[in-house]
Structure 1
Amino acid sequence: MARRRRRRGSSGSGPPELRLAYGARARTLGRAVLSLLPPPPPPGAPCPACRGGGRSAGCLACRRWAHLLRDGDPVAYRGLVTRAVCALAPAGAAPPPPRYTPGNAGHSQAKSKINNSDFIVQDVLLKDLGATVNDEVHPMELTVDKKSLTMSSDVNNSLTKEPYGVLCYEKPPSSVFDIRPSQGHSTSRIQSTCRQVGLPNFLHLNSGPICFDCLMLNSSKNVKVDSLVSRHAVFYNRRTSYNIFHGNHILNKRKRPDALSLIRHIFGIKGCCAKFMRCDCSGSTTTNSNCLHLWLPKLMNKLIRNSKRCQYKKLVLKHCSVNSKIGAKLAKNDSKAQYPFGGKPACNNKSYVQLEAYSTHQQVVSFVWAVLTQIIPEPLLGNSYSKRSLRINIWKFIKLRRFETFHLSDCIGELKVSQYSWISSIGLSDCFCSALMEKEIGLSNGSEEQKRQNLLHCWISWIFSDIVIPLVQAYFYVTERESRRYDAFYYLKTVWRDLTSIAVASLIRQNFKILRGTSRKAIRQSCFTSRVRFVPKARDMRPLVNLKAQSKDGLLNKCHLIIKKVRDENPEMFGSSVFDYNNVHKNLCDFLSSVRSYLKEKAKIYVVVADVSKAFDCISHDMVLKVVDDVLKYDNYVLRKCTKVVCNRSKNAIYRFDSNVSISKGNDICDFSVQLSSSGGILVDQGKISSIQKKAIQRLISEQVKCNIFKIGQNFYSQQVGIAQGSKLSPNLCSLYYGHLENSVLLKFLRDGKIDSDDDVSAPKSLLMRFIDDFIFISFSKEHALNFFNRMRRGFVYYNCYMNDSKYGFNFEVANSEHCCNRIYRGDDGFSFIPWSGLLINCETLEIQADYTRYLDILISSTITVKMHSSVKYLQSKLCHYMRPKCHPIFYDSMINSPGTVRLNIYQAFLLCAMKFHCYIRSMADGSISKLELLYIIKKTFRYMHSLIIRRIQDVELQYNVHPVLKLKRKETMWLGLSAYLRVLQKKQSRYRDLLALLREEIGRYGHLDYDSDGLRYAVDDLHSSMFWKFKF
């Protein structure tokens, strides 16, 4: 006959008989002993029991648990002290135990009463404890009434053998953070009176149970304040889900998680520490109302319940509704809006309204905070000060720019443990679990204050990573805009879906074809597949293709190097293309040297600027492939890899990086050339030689141009016209395509349209340059310039090329040009400039200045990224990085610019750097950098710029055979930099009063340089930098 299964014991912890009989007086033996002792002496006072005359280790009265449990104690003794359970009766006799009946005993063995007398274990305990702790203990009476215990016969037998055998041992738990009813046993081990939480048996510890508070404090995961909060999941997420939290999120599980599972997830309780766990650690006879186990699981259950019931959609519509004016237009024009994308610009107000329908940072913060207050119970959010601080920290997180980082210390901010009563109320003064865990497992998180601080770190980290970020990810499409490079814009996904659907519809009408059925599958197997995302512009959207994940990217890189080499050797095939400021500098110097006589006579200069509309989207596939075939003249190309070794002076370390790959035409003897540079270094041949056939190059470029598949949402599209932006090949292919247009059509037109027989386009009376798709034509003949302008306006049908009417620039009168936008800039000084590819070209002298007009309509802070906790060295590197783009020799060459313009370029570069400096300092979390350190950084920036200008001038001389002239002294650079910082920071005097005093003292050491230099006086005149005083910083 099968053995009858015993009934499971009642849920809870410990023998129910002791709990029913004695209530809170039933406790472990060790805690019972310590409860009879007098209070410990205050710190520094002698112990009244040992008076400092005992052993150096102290006594039980002053050291308590540390004296009761020591290293090397036997296992049996530890089990007796920490796991045995007894009832303590004050002053003599215990109250008579209640009589149990079969109805109220809760156990089948309650029918048989054990009529034994009370067993006094005082002498045996004193003998055992005295041998262990070597101290005298005042007489105590530990009484266990056997009438209240329903034990099996083997327990009765054990009572006759060992006096302390009646003291109860608890059963080890079995599952992680899972409260289950314990199973009854017929052995001598009786369940503990403490409530247990089961955990896996990771380590076989011989110590006793661990209370809930101690487990939370000692075994929670250690979160570092400098750990990063990941933001990458927030950007460019187009997925729309009915669930706010992702599938693996603990609040999104089908089976509702219990409170303890959520606690384990938030605080990362270590399994090895949580093998045993009980809930109360108070040494008093009353229940401790501050113990976490009494109310923290209830609050967590409430949090889980609230997360299921929260009305997220109503909250997002309430807090992130579109502005009233924009919302009315969106509601009226939602189904009728036509989006101008591709081809000729046809911008309308409807699409423009939708582009401006993003949610502000304050609206996003308001929505997130509303959700937090809805789902998180109020006690867990702390007091009013912590709520205010937490909302400020969320606002800092939401307003972060692209590529900026956010650390846990930024999430914490001004939050303190004292503001959270559920953390600050935890006390360990009377508990031995901390010392026990440290002895047995070796885990300790420091002082009690540090442990509480770690709990706060875990809690705040979970709020940001598991609630704030999923909320933003679920309801907003976060992206940057082309006009404001680094600012993050939050579009509701419903709004973004409308924008992208209109843009995709326009692409389908222009040059895209949706793939369906078998054609889609066939092309997907044989062609590239790339993802497309859209970036909002001022009045339309630009598609960007991610081609980095293509499997053939290595071969495409070789093709790019070959095309680049062909470009350097045969620049005439690319027409008037320039690829950087070095090419512009060389062409401009050659032109100015040949027309010096015209400039001396102050002849009228005519300048025309034109921009191709959708330059990449209107390229014909067959035409560009034909042009590539004409350029590749050899059947085989050989590539050889070199490495340049340079020395970094600041760190005195050697750095290696790959140089340009040299290319041979397939000869047996390879003539490899290297690029010259003024910086020191050693070229090392890597011995890696590879070759590629012309047919392979043609096949790869053909696949790149014709066989691209773009994934937008869930659909796949093929591009019928145009090439994708985002590949290394795209700029060179575009330049090659329009270079063929110039050689075939434009130059022929200029020759045929010459003014007289002596006029020739090859003569140095005109200059044509093109940076990819931006044309500039300079001539001393108005008729010549007007003919060029009219020809560009007509477009080039054979090449599907048309100009953008909103991006023309010309400095003379043109008939019937009302619909053409003339982008000419006039400053307060009366000079006229035409912007072209980041340069401002003086229409009267052809002097070159940097184009800062793009900063007029944006905030300076949107052009920088800030590291919240920046060191002095990092801030210095940032300021030097801001100066690098403005250190090109074209701005400081005295062969092009006058002394006043050279110094004005330096002064304006420092003006912008000072504005970015202010924005950076203001955005930093702390102002720990002293004013003297800031002055040192600023002066270091001046010296860096002057040295970089000299070094780049030397590089231009070596690489491009240009001989620029630099007539600039270092002290002039320092004086101009100090003047620029003083001019900018004077607008923010309240913040920089001490720094301004240091700057004035520093500039005073240079004297009045401007008195003796007309160029310096010209540079610091506000009329010549009038646009800077319109910047918002």
Structure 2
Amino acid sequence: MIGGDAARGTLEAPEAGNTNTRMSRRDSTDDSLKYVLGILRSLYPLVQTLEEFADGLVFSDGRKPLLVEEKDGARVKKLTRGLIVCAFTPLQQLRVPAQLSTLTEVLAFTLNHIKRKKLRNVLGFGYQCSDVTACSDPFRFHGDVSQTAASISTSELWKRINQRLGTEVTRYLLQDCAVFATVPPSCLLQVCGEPVYDLLLPRTWSGFFLDGGAAPTSFGVTRKTPAAAMRMKAVRDDKKIVSKKRAREEEIDGKREDRPVVKRRRLTMDETDGSPNTRKPESHGSQSWKSADQPSPRPSRCSIRVLSMLYGGRGLKGFLLNRKLKGGVGGARRLQGADLVRIIFLQSESNVFDGQAKFRKLPKRYFAMVPLFARLLRQHRKCPYTLFLRRKCSVNPETEDMESLLKSHSSPYRVYLFVRECLRYVVPEELWGSEENQLHFLSNVKNFLRLGKFERLPLIQLMWKMKVKACQWLGLKKRHCASEHRYREWIFGQFLGWMLNSYVIGLVKALFYVTESMGQKHTLRFYRGEVWNKLQEMAFRVHLSKGQWRALSPSQALKFPKTTVTSRIRFIPKVNSMRPITRLAGPRESLQHFQSGVRLLQNVLSACVREAPGPMGSTVWGWQDIHRVLKEFSPQQKNSPRPLYFVKVDVSGAYDSLPHQKLVEVLGEVLSPFAEQSFFVRQYARVWNDPNLGLRKHFCTKAEMSEPLNMKGFIVDEQDSGTLHDAILVERHSSEVRGGDVFQFFQKMLSSYIIHHDNKMFRQVCGIPQGASVSALLCNLCYGHMENSLLKGIAKGGCLMRLVDDFLLITPHLSKATEFLTTLLAGVPDYGCKINPQKVAVNFPVCQEWLDSGVSVLPSCCLFPWCGLLLDTRTLDVYKDYSRYDGLSLRYSLTLSSAHSPAAVMKKLLSVLSLKCTDIFLDLKMNSVEAVYRSLYKLILLQALRFHACVKSLPLGQNVESNPWFFLKMIWTMARVTNRLIRHINKGTSAAF
């Protein structure tokens, strides 16, 4: 730490005469940067300023380097205190300081080494070079470098470091340390070293693995915590001693039983790339099963995801136990008992089925299990799955209309009854060990099927209350030692995890199509495979009849190269229809190139809109923008009340109906003034400490029109604008693009929307995919253009807001309200704007024709609903619309499995509370005191219900009775946070809370 004894203890202590001076300097630094320095201290065991780092160096000849000399000015001294050096271990065995190379050569050598060894180092980000081979000149740059690297090469401070501390120390700082530059008043910029965001532990773990090793982290590299880094050598020494002892024991015993090695399915928790990252398993029999050689098991970090159960319904043919093994003399063969034992305990599933695994002789323990699992396979082949399915999850075969089919889904309980019948028929009783174990497992299956979409079941909960002693098949002897019992727990955990993750989920996925639904949050629906096939076919025909897709002939489809990015379509159930959702598919490189182009288009358009917001019309992006608009309009109504007329209009199928020709015209008008303008796109990461959620990271992209500042200048500007404070930033990549090139990509993107469905290909000739990141911006620009063309002046004296495709007009003029409604109800074909009258609402009388078409007429004085809000038509007070919670279990509005302990529950509830305490409901400058109190009451009531749902969902028997003091403290903390948030929102007002 800066000024900490732990950091100085590994280096030579400073002279006593200089201690007080340095301490005073550190105190001034800590005051402005205490939050970001606290983040560094929590991640690194050694945190020092460059001045302290240099003072602690001692070379082999006993000399100490002098980085700052008396002739150096105050600026140089300030710069040395402005660099923070972080490391896991101190530099040792220093030779005599010597400048063996220039700073540019050292920097080039370090960059080439980073690129050749594929190291994670901030310095190497943006170093664009095709290949760095061993024969290349290592002291020359082989491509463009980032702004950070370029600034180091010209920095006077880094030249002094190279001259006065030597090339060896300079390379150590650039390659092996994490160096941060202070950017006053409160931020840091990482200059080199492993990205600081890689050291943050993932917030949630959603993979399934049962081995007790370290959990994978971002980019597939196991990260060492500071404590682990300092203890690594001691751990290695202990392992050497244990290994020697075991070798002697094995020579005496004359036999060895190997610990099985499990292939773990791992998901890399990188926020920018969601692709899975796998690791080859260790060779079978490479480690002993004994506890001294095993990593400590972490069942609390092993879990089974509900997401792995979604989107199936393809029948039993692909079910795990029905698959055949490849290879062998006789070709493909059915699964045998020994194969199943290998899959569950010894080898990966993919290796066994692909014929890649070398089948060695099973250890005696596992060989004794083969008859049990062979019986399980025999029972599976006899099991009447179809009969059980008809009994427990019956459907009406005569149902043909979509609305009835949408209601023909099975409840989680009916699905559980089906799974229970199958488990009792297939699994031999000996495998459960006791009826109590079987009942505990079935209870966990029932709970698992009731979880929400993004939840998971931890292995520790699956094994809770399970009695290992009752399972005689886990070992050969009745009496056993503690390490043997621990190993049997591991085997039983493997079996239970496989039963739920492979058998139960595989069975449900084979016979049901499991999906979420619109308006039901994370609640899952279970459709029989044949029911879903009917629904999907009907929905596809309806979508095709709209004329938005054009079928491609086989010859046209063959013309597309294999690198073409296509879209796969799936449907999400609504109340009486289906919503299509597309997902991009294609080769990884092509997909990444296309997605980066779409993100670039979004950032450039955002920069254009910031420069000239006129094309956006009345667009609002969320409640903050709505609050800003109403805050300007509301005081006038409160000071001089007058009748207000409200019109709410919703565009039907907004994204799907945007004409491509009009989109090209609109985007051409937006980008044409900037056709020759260069946009500088900066990608960076931000790390900060949230008081409720702990360390957080976020990856940002920002496009700028002006000449780009270096990263330090950019951070200073962001702090001056008030958008950044107390954060650590990492520059990732910077690029430059012309506005004309972006427009060309947009035209190419529109013409390349290819949909692949049921072995047929279609081209989208109208509309844009709803899930694309740029889609909302394109929709807003198109409707903003329509407003400027057809609705100019309609909001005079009132206000017009549009949240993507939901319009709201508030005006004191009845004629303007009627004109607005007439214009939109007639439709605007040039913009693909077609209104659904059943989603139109007004608070004034309308003609009979509009009433017959479905327009809703509300009382003149009422709470008017719009986009989750309720607006008082007299006072413009704003409330939240809680009607969407009707008929919905509150637990499905939360992902409860992430709150596995009372402390996690408190963190989750505080984060939700912070999100719900928004200005638009609690601002006394816009709302009356009565309205704020009413909103506050409902907010606290709903928070109490969330508290109840979270506490009831705590696993492992945790409840309020076990620790009432903590839960009372949690309630009091939520009350204090609410009070603080309300006072912050109403800062400067005289009202008391």
Give the TM-score band, short-chain normalised: 0.5 to 0.7
Q: Aligned in 2, Cα 1:237/1:317: closer, same or farther, shift over 3 Å?
A: same
Q: Aligned in 2, Cα 1:659/1:448: closer, same or farther, shift over 3 Å?
A: closer
Q: Aligned in 2, Cα 1:468/1:220: closer, same or farther, shift over 3 Å?
A: farther
Deviation at 1:423, TM superposition (A): 5.1
**Aligned twin of 1:586:** 628
Q: Aligned in 2, Cα 1:815/1:524: closer, same or farther, shift over 3 Å?
A: farther
Deviation at 1:736, TM superposition (A): 0.7
Select which of 959, 966, 972 maps to 1:933: 966
Q: Is the Cα contact below 8 Å between 1:825 and 1:833 reproduced in 2?
A: no
Deviation at 1:415, TM superposition (A): 2.6
What code does the residue aligned with 1:944 have? V
Mapped partners of 2:774, 2:286: distance in 1: 60
Counterpart of 2:892 in 1: which secondary structure? Answer: helix
**Aligned twin of 1:754:** none
**Aligned twin of 1:778:** 810
**Aligned twin of 1:212:** none
What code does the residue aligned with 1:467 have? Y
Mapped partners of 2:905, 2:287: distance in 1: 53
Deviation at 1:649, TM superposition (A): 6.6
Counterpart of 1:538 in 2: which secondary structure? Answer: coil
Mapped partners of 2:694, 2:522: distance in 1: 33
Counterpart of 2:897 in 1: which secondary structure? Answer: coil
Q: Aligned in 2, Cα 1:415/1:832: closer, same or farther, shift over 3 Å?
A: same
Q: Could you state the TM-score of these two structures normalised by the residue count of structure 2? A: 0.63
**Aligned twin of 2:664:** 625
Deviation at 1:588, TM superposition (A): 1.7
What code does the residue aligned with 1:228 have? S
1:917-937 per-residue CA deviation (whole Å, 9 max, x = no partner) reads 111212222324522211211
Deviation at 1:251, TM superposition (A): 12
Select which of 902, 918, 925 maps to 1:895: 925
**Aligned twin of 2:645:** 606
**Aligned twin of 1:133:** none
**Aligned twin of 1:163:** none
1:527-574 per-residue CA deviation (whole Å, 9 max, x = no partner) reads 531222211112211112224845321122121111112222222212
Select which of 655, 668, 682 maps to 1:641: 682
Mapped partners of 1:874, 1:70: distance in 2: 41
Deviation at 1:732, TM superposition (A): 0.7
**Aligned twin of 2:402:** 351
After superposition, residues 387-426 of structure 1 pair within 5 angstroms as 387-420=438-471, 422=473, 426=477
Deviation at 1:464, TM superposition (A): 1.4
Q: Aligned in 2, Cα 1:565/1:278: closer, same or farther, shift over 3 Å?
A: closer
Q: Whose relative contact order is higher, 1 or 2, with alpha carbons under 8 Å and at least 6 apart?
A: 2
Does 1:878 find its partner at 2:911?
no
**Aligned twin of 1:767:** 799
Q: Is the Cα contact below 8 Å between 1:606 and 1:781 reproduced in 2?
A: yes
Deviation at 1:892, TM superposition (A): 2.2
Deviation at 1:715, TM superposition (A): 2.8
After superposition, residues 755-904 of structure 1 pair within 5 angstroms as 762=796, 764=797, 766-816=798-848, 817-821=850-854, 832-867=862-897, 870-904=900-934
Counterpart of 1:406 in 2: which secondary structure? Answer: strand
Q: Aligned in 2, Cα 1:363/1:476: closer, same or farther, shift over 3 Å?
A: same
Q: Aligned in 2, Cα 1:715/1:885: closer, same or farther, shift over 3 Å?
A: farther
**Aligned twin of 2:534:** 498
After superposition, residues 320-331 of structure 1 pair within 5 angstroms as 320-322=393-395, 327=396, 331=397
Q: Aligned in 2, Cα 1:835/1:741: closer, same or farther, shift over 3 Å?
A: same
Does 1:332 find its partner at 2:398?
yes
Q: Is the Cα contact below 8 Å between 2:412 and 2:450 reproduced in 1?
A: yes
1:989-1014 per-residue CA deviation (whole Å, 9 max, x = no partner) reads xxxxxxxxxxxxxxxxxxxxxxxxxx
- Unaligned runs of 5+ residues in structure 2 are 1-244, 262-282, 349-356, 586-590
Deviation at 1:361, TM superposition (A): 0.7
**Aligned twin of 2:58:** none
Q: Aligned in 2, Cα 1:308/1:551: closer, same or farther, shift over 3 Å?
A: farther
Select which of 520, 533, 545 maps to 2:557: 520
Mapped partners of 1:507, 1:217: distance in 2: 59
Q: Could you state the TM-score of these two structures normalised by the residue count of structure 1? A: 0.61
**Aligned twin of 1:377:** 428
**Aligned twin of 1:976:** none
Counterpart of 1:834 in 2: which secondary structure? Answer: strand
**Aligned twin of 1:542:** 579
Mapped partners of 1:630, 1:275: distance in 2: 72
Mapped partners of 2:633, 2:938: distance in 1: 26
1:251-287 per-residue CA deviation (whole Å, 9 max, x = no partner) reads 99942444344334434399999989669xxxxxxxx
After superposition, residues 37-52 of structure 1 pair within 5 angstroms as none
Counterpart of 2:299 in 1: which secondary structure? Answer: coil
Mapped partners of 1:909, 1:837: distance in 2: 18
Mapped partners of 1:173, 1:907: distance in 2: 64
Select which of 539, 542, 555 maps to 2:597: 555
- Unaligned runs of 5+ residues in structure 1 are 1-68, 84-171, 178-199, 206-214, 280-291, 335-349, 435-445, 751-760, 955-964, 973-1033
1:421-452 per-residue CA deviation (whole Å, 9 max, x = no partner) reads 555994137xxxx8xxxxxxxxxxx3454344
Select which of 458, 466, 475 maps to 2:511: 475
What code does the residue aligned with 1:943 have? R
Q: Aligned in 2, Cα 1:426/1:70: closer, same or farther, shift over 3 Å?
A: closer
**Aligned twin of 1:153:** none
Mapped partners of 1:371, 1:838: distance in 2: 44
Mapped partners of 1:624, 1:311: distance in 2: 56
What code does the residue aligned with 1:776 have? L
1:595-652 per-residue CA deviation (whole Å, 9 max, x = no partner) reads 34xx445321111111000011110000011000001111223214275866527599
Across the aligned residues of Structure 1 and Structure 2, the Cα RMSD in angstroms comes to 4.2
Q: Aligned in 2, Cα 1:417/1:73: closer, same or farther, shift over 3 Å?
A: closer
Counterpart of 1:551 in 2: which secondary structure? Answer: helix
Counterpart of 1:531 in 2: which secondary structure? Answer: strand
Q: Is the Cα contact below 8 Å between 1:267 and 1:458 reproduced in 2?
A: yes
Does 1:255 find its partner at 2:327?
no
Mapped partners of 1:370, 1:216: distance in 2: 38
Q: Is the Cα contact below 8 Å between 1:678 and 1:951 reproduced in 2?
A: no
Select which of 697, 710, 725 maps to 1:680: 725
Q: Aligned in 2, Cα 1:202/1:574: closer, same or farther, shift over 3 Å?
A: closer
After superposition, residues 394-473 of structure 1 pair within 5 angstroms as 394-420=445-471, 422=473, 426-428=477-479, 446-473=482-509
Q: Is the Cα contact below 8 Å between 1:417 and 1:456 reproduced in 2?
A: yes
1:303-357 per-residue CA deviation (whole Å, 9 max, x = no partner) reads 22222232322322222212xxxx2xxx3343xxxxxxxxxxxxxxx31211111
Q: Is the Cα contact below 8 Å between 1:173 and 1:276 reproduced in 2?
A: no
Counterpart of 2:679 in 1: which secondary structure? Answer: strand
What code does the residue aligned with 1:648 have? N
After superposition, residues 706-717 of structure 1 pair within 5 angstroms as 706-717=751-762
Deviation at 1:590, TM superposition (A): 2.3
1:370-428 per-residue CA deviation (whole Å, 9 max, x = no partner) reads 22222222332344333322211111111111111112222234332355455599413
1:664-708 per-residue CA deviation (whole Å, 9 max, x = no partner) reads 167999998748337634696949642212332112112322321
**Aligned twin of 1:733:** 778
Does 1:943 find its partner at 2:982?
no
Counterpart of 1:236 in 2: which secondary structure? Answer: coil
Does 1:316 find its partner at 2:352?
no
Deviation at 1:875, TM superposition (A): 1.0
Q: Is the Cα contact below 8 Å between 2:315 and 2:510 reproduced in 1?
A: yes
Q: Is the Cα contact below 8 Å between 1:481 and 1:489 reproduced in 2?
A: yes
Mapped partners of 1:859, 1:655: distance in 2: 30
Q: Which moved more, 1:783-792 or 1:355-364?
A: 783-792
Q: Which moved more, 1:769-778 or 1:385-394?
A: 385-394
Q: Aligned in 2, Cα 1:665/1:201: closer, same or farther, shift over 3 Å?
A: closer
Deviation at 1:592, TM superposition (A): 2.8
Mapped partners of 2:864, 2:503: distance in 1: 50
